[in-house]
Structure 1
Amino acid sequence: MLQVKPEHLDEYVRRHEAVWPEMLEALSATGWGNYSIFLREDGLLVGYLETEDFAKALAGMAETGVNERWQREMAPFFDLDGAAPDASMAPLREIFHLA
C-alpha cells in the first residue's frame, strides 16, 4: 500500500494506462502474475499480485534496468523519504477467502 499525492492522481493513472512494454515483459518474466493496482479517490494505492515466491519476484525485478527506471519515474508521485516505491511492498497473509 502507498499513498499517491493528491496533485498527482490523474498523472499516476495516465502513466498506468501506458505501462512500458519492457516493464510488462519484465514483470511476467520474473514471476509476477495476476497483478492489479487499485487506487482510491483519496490516493490510497493497493497493489495485488500472485507469485510462487514473493522474495524471488522482487529480487528478479530489482535486477532489471527497466524496473530501476520505472521506480525512478514513479517516485515523485509518493512521499517515500528517498526510498523506491517498490521498497515498501510486503506480503499480506490471507485470512479469509470466499470463492
Structure 2
Amino acid sequence: MKRLAFKMKLNPGQKEAYAQRHNAIWPELKELLKDSGVSEYSIFFDEDTHTLFAFQKVTGEGGSQDLAENPIVKKWWNFMSDIMEVNPDNSPVSIPLEEVFFMK
C-alpha cells in the first residue's frame, strides 16, 4: 500500500460548502474510488491559506488523481468547480506532495 498526498486551493468563504458536498459524496463516486484502490481518503483544511491537504492510502499504481477520464469524476469536478481553484477542464488545481517523513 502506498500513501499519496496533494494540495488544492479552496475559494475564500467556501469551507462549509466544500464540507457539505464531501459529506454527501455520491455513492457511485465512492464506489469508483474504492474500486480504483483508494482505501482511505482524508482532506484537511488550512484556514489561513485556504489550502486543502489531501491524503490517500492506495493499493496498485493509481489514486484518485488518475481517474481524469471517468465521466463520474468529470461530473464531480463540474459540481465542485464553483468553490475551488480549477484548471480549464474543471479539474482541481492539484499539486502532488513529496513524502519526507513516515513513522510506523
Same fold (TM over 0.5): yes
Q: List structure 1 runs of 4+ shifted beyond 6 angstroms.
A: none
The alignment partner of 1:7 has SS state of coil
Partner of 1:9: 15
- CA gap of 1:26–1:6, structure 2 versus 1, over 3 A, is same
Where do 5+ consecutive residues of structure 2 fail to align? 1-6
CA distance in 2, matches of 1:5, 1:31: 29
- CA gap of 1:57–1:44, structure 2 versus 1, over 3 A, is closer
Q: Percent identity?
A: 28
Pairing of 1:25-44 with structure 2 (within 5 A): 25-42=31-48, 43-44=50-51
CA distance in 1, matches of 2:85, 2:73: 19
Q: Pairwise CA RMSD of aligned residues?
A: 2.0
CA distance in 2, matches of 1:3, 1:58: 15
Partner of 2:101: 96
Q: CA deviation at 1:10?
A: 1.1
Where do 5+ consecutive residues of structure 1 fail to align? none
Q: CA deviation at 1:58?
A: 3.5
Q: 1:18 aligns with which of 24, 45, 50?
A: 24
Higher strand share goes to which structure? 2
Q: Which residue identity is paired with 2:65?
A: L
The alignment partner of 1:5 has SS state of coil
Q: CA deviation at 1:41?
A: 2.1
Q: Which residue identity is paired with 1:33?
A: S
Higher relative contact order (CA 8 A, sep 6+): 2
